[in-house]
Amino acid sequence: MAHPDNLSLDQVTLCAGAKTILDNVTLTVPMTGVTLLAGRNGSGKSTFLKACLGLVRLQSGVLLLKGQPPELACRQIGYMPQGLSDTALMIPAISHVMAAMKGARWGIPLPSRARREDAERLLALTGALSFARRPLGLLSGGERQRVCLAQALTDNPKMLLLDEPLAALDHEAQHQIVSLLDTLTRDLGISILLTSHETEALGGKMSRILKLKNGSLHV
């Protein structure tokens, strides 16, 4: 039986169009703490994260995350895609968090008090409560990343998949986000798998590094 804290691949082949991302890879890696998925631009890191969520199909093999296939594991996972959101920029940050909650949908918002309080709790957790009522488009890059993290934390995930959470941030904002991620893993026990080219900002916070290169994946 797969260990619930592992990422397990058994003869996995994953492609994006004509490009092979993983070529018959078998590997088991602990998913505790912060795991960095490293690789050059175009190596397929984003595609691999999407495969872990079941958003991209494998060509062959079996992938298990937290002991489950992606279509089941995704229920325990919060995801932050690459790039800052550029939709509904004049909507308050708190509305973006409420929209990410299970069962939410865009429209004329009639949020319950419980939903709003839950959104405020998540924004407080990510250090974003002070600008919860400000439009998303008026926030700095670091502030918007905090809102995105609050969105990823809806529905109490056991794991976060973060695609370039430090991109386009200045050094101070990078270190603030890294400190926040460290708090999430240390205090809440949330494991994190992230991609980033800003390895200096991550410092000693990484538990391990996964290297994706030329169809192979190794620790």
Identify which has the larger pLDDT, 197 or 13. 13
Give backbone dihedrals phi and psi of 81, rounded to 5 degrees, phi first.
Answer: -70, 170
Residues of the domain holding 189: 6-218
Residue 29: is its pLDDT beyond 70? yes
Residue 30 in any domain: the answer is yes
Domains in the chain, number:
1
- Please tell me the predicted confidence (pLDDT) of residue 162: 96
Q: Compute the distance between CA of residue 53 and CA of residue 181 in angstroms, rounded to an integer.
A: 20
Q: Which of 69, 100, 60, 77 is nearest to 194 (CA)?
A: 77
The pLDDT tens digits of the residues spanning 97-150 come to: 999 887 544 444 556 888 899 999 999 999 999 999 999 999 998 999 999 999
Query: Contact at 8 Å (CB) between 11 and 62?
Result: yes
Which CATH number characterizes residue 11's domain? 3.40.50.300
Instruction: Give the DSSP letter string of 33-80.
Output: SEEEEE--TTSSHHHHHHHHTTSS--SEEEEEETTB-HHHHGGGEEEE
Quick one: which of 75, 53, 86 has its CA closest to 163? 53
In this structure, is residue 208 part of a structural domain?
A: yes
Three-state DSSP class for 163?
Answer: strand
Q: How far apart are CA 217 and CA 205, in angstroms?
A: 21
Q: What is the pLDDT of residue 104?
A: 46
Q: Are 85 and 96 in contact (CB under 8 A)?
A: yes
Instruction: Tell me if 1 is assigned to some domain.
Output: no
The Cα 83–Cα 92 span in angstroms is 19
Bridge-partner residues for 7, per DSSP?
29, 65
Q: Who contacts 116 (Cβ-Cβ below 8 Å, separation ≥6)?
A: 94, 98
Any domain includes 200: yes
